[in-house]
Amino acid sequence: MNLRTRKFIGVILILASIALYGWVATLVYETWLTGASPLVLILFFAVAGGGWFFPATWIIRFMARPDDQAK
């Protein structure tokens, strides 16, 4: 797979993962944390706000791999 194809797939995956992650985080908040104490909310939003970093890192590493040289 060449770099251009991986970047195209990576952009689609990043957009889809951000949408899915936002939906899940919102669902968790609305289901279990509505009316929670401010400390719990701060902790939740700190974790949820940084949680997208790991999936995005894996996708970006996939996108940045060099082209396969064996043909």
* Structural domains in the chain (count): 1
Q: Write the DSSP symbol of residue 67.
A: P
Helix then strand then coil, in percent of the chain rounded to 5, is 80, 0, 20
- Position 38 in a domain: yes
Residue type, 41: L
Distance CA 55, CA 43 (A): 20
Report if residue 49 sits inside a domain. yes
Any domain includes 69: no
Indicate whether 70 belongs to any domain.
no
Total-model pTM: 0.79
Q: Which domain holds residue 38?
A: 3-64
User: What would the pLDDT profile of 31-61 be if each residue is shown by its tens digit?
Assistant: 999 899 999 999 999 999 999 899 999 999 9
